[in-house]
Structure 1
Amino acid sequence: MSILSVVSLTNGGYAESKGKHIKYSKFFNLTTSKLQNDQQIVKMASRNGMFLLYAPAFLVGLVSFVVFYDRDQDLRFLMVISALTIHFLKRVIEVLLVHKYSGYIALEAVIPISLSYAISTATMIYAQYLSQASLEPLIDLKHVGVALFLVGITGNFYHHLILSTLRKNDDKQYKIPKGGLFDLVTCPHYLFEIIGFIGVSCISQTMYSVCFLMGTISYLTGRSFATREWYVSKFGEKFNKDVKALVPYVL
């Protein structure tokens, strides 16, 4: 599962950077007119689709508290379950109360992404459960991980709020984000998501969590480059070419 996770996510990031996008968000809307006559594409409202992306993984986290309730649990194990459950609870709340939507999401994209999140969450929790029989790491990073996780989810939420304020009333047009780190990078929400998962990996300190982190970095980097190219193609000279994709002044 560690190998599968890092390979599949890295491949997804490479595909995104080469223009082979998952059919949601602005990348699906780019081809909506072309796909309207394609009867094989099943579309659903973005809010419903995004809810289905995250709800199963959130439920996996909740169920894990019940499944492992009467078994020996160390603090690290409980912290991993809590971090993953909080992460996806935040995602669900954002879908329902924060994000603004302008289009559709393809069902063919919803199913594999939803399964990927749920399976990855279950695998990380189970790997952590198995690791309780092993010796503790020589360097304990779980408290550093908690700090990074909190920074990550806070920064991610803040930049999602900025994105949600770009559209007023029934406005469905995309705009160039301003404020926060958007003045430096196109995808600060991805940057903070990576920081959050670095935190989870530090809490967990298992091979699977490290591999999942590496894959997540690869995927979100590819997605960030694709997003920057999209802004350049859509807004042209209005887009500040000095704005990086993911890491301020660097990448």
Structure 2
Amino acid sequence: MVLSVLLKFIYPPPASVVITAMSVISFVSLSNAGWMETKGKHMQYSKLRNVGKKSATATATATDDDDDDKKKKKKDDKENAKLSGKVGMIVAYTPAFLAGVSSFFLFPDGDLRFTLLRSAVTIHFFKRLFEVLFVHKISGWMDVEAMTTISLSYFLSSSTMIYTQNLMLQLPEPTVDLKYVGVPLFLVGIGGNFYHHYLLSRLRAKGEKQYKIPQGGLFNLVICPHYLFEILGFFGISCISQTVYSLSFTLGTTFYLMGRSSATRDWYQSKFEDFPKDVKALIPYIF
């Protein structure tokens, strides 16, 4: 009963052990990563790098690098290979972007849905590279291990999503066509994500390294509105694609960003005494 209803909205799973395995792996690994974020085991980049479990208080202009943090960072510097944050992010996003671009040459034939899907994937990672180069103010660094994990994850997910869509060209489309819902949802997601990244980039003046409580846009309601819009963007891609793999990746990403946003809110609460208690992590008024 449930399966028959679901198949009205998505293509049947392809007869491919690899695609089936990737669907399961994507969902489980991303969901587990989100769970680990809530338990204090963070992906080693951004402000959550080397977060300690001790309580801390600070004013809105306090930095996140106290003496204990500096000692821990020096110790980790000796143990872990690292790159500048900007270089790490460029390496993380470039393979997935190239996968999107190359798909237009590797698969020259395709219907409107396939064209929209690979265009959305390509635009998504082009935006990320553009932000790294011209929007984000990245002053920190990134573990090579984290960079490699993120880069491989994005490349495999993008390639698998595009390849799966190519396999669907030979199958009848789902009864309920969601691609025209997916396109505006994707555009709202990518636009909202970019806008809130822009607001974050304007928090600190040139040369400043202090973390501040974000303001403007939906930051007055949630601490991670950029994650919320990223989730909307991926749901837009899932509606365009309507495949089991795209849905499993989107759901896994949602659970990961829920965990990451929860950990981010905890970080702000520990660092700023005046952090608003009514500001949620990800979903206004709810979570």
Q: After TM superposition, is the score higher than 0.5?
A: yes
The answer as to whether partners of 1:29 and 1:104 remain within 8 angstroms in 2 is no
Number of positions where the alignment pairs a residue of Structure 1 with one of Structure 2 = 248
* Higher deviation after alignment, 29-38 or 157-166: 29-38
Q: In structure 1, list runs of 5 or more residues that go unmatched.
A: none
Cross-structure match for 2:62: none
1:14 to 2:51 alignment: no
How far the C-alpha of 1:27 sits from its partner, in A, is 1.2
In 2, Cα distance between equivalents of 1:67 and 1:43:
34
TM-score (norm 2): 0.85
Is residue 63 of structure 1 aligned with residue 102 of structure 2? yes
What SS does the corresponding residue of 2:142 show, helix, strand or coil?
strand
Contact 1:101 1:172 in 2 (8 A): no
Task: Give the deviation of 1:29 after TM superposition.
Answer: 5.5
Tell me by how many angstroms 1:32 deviates.
5.3
Q: What TM-score, normalized to structure 1?
A: 0.97
Deviations 1:201-245 (A, max 9, x none): 000000001101110100000000000000000102x10010000
Q: Distance in 1 between matches of 2:224 and 2:206?
A: 24
Structure 2: unaligned runs, 5 residues or longer: 1-21, 52-68
Secondary structure, counterpart of 2:49 in structure 1: helix
- Structure 2 counterparts to residues 94-133 of structure 1, below 5 A: 94-133=131-170
The letter for the 2-side match of 1:41 is: N
Question: Is 1:27 aligned with 2:48?
Answer: yes
Further displaced range: 130-139 or 27-36: 27-36
Corresponding residue of 1:142: 179
8 A Cα contact 1:145 1:200, kept in partner: yes
Task: Give, in angstroms, the shift of residue 33 of structure 1.
Answer: 3.3
On the 8 A contact 1:28/1:104 being kept in 2, the answer is: no
Identity between Structure 1 and Structure 2 (%): 59
CA contact under 8 A between 1:35 and 1:41: conserved in structure 2? no
- The structure 2 residue matched to 1:206, chosen from 243, 261, 273, is 243
Structure 1 or 2, whichever has the larger Rg, is 2
Query: Segments of 4+ in structure 1 off by > 3 A?
Result: 29-33
Name 1:159's counterpart in structure 2: 196
RMSD, aligned CA: 1.0
**SS in structure 2 of the partner of residue 105 of structure 1:** strand
In structure 1, C-alpha distance between the alignment counterparts of 2:81 and 2:130, rounded to whole Å: 25
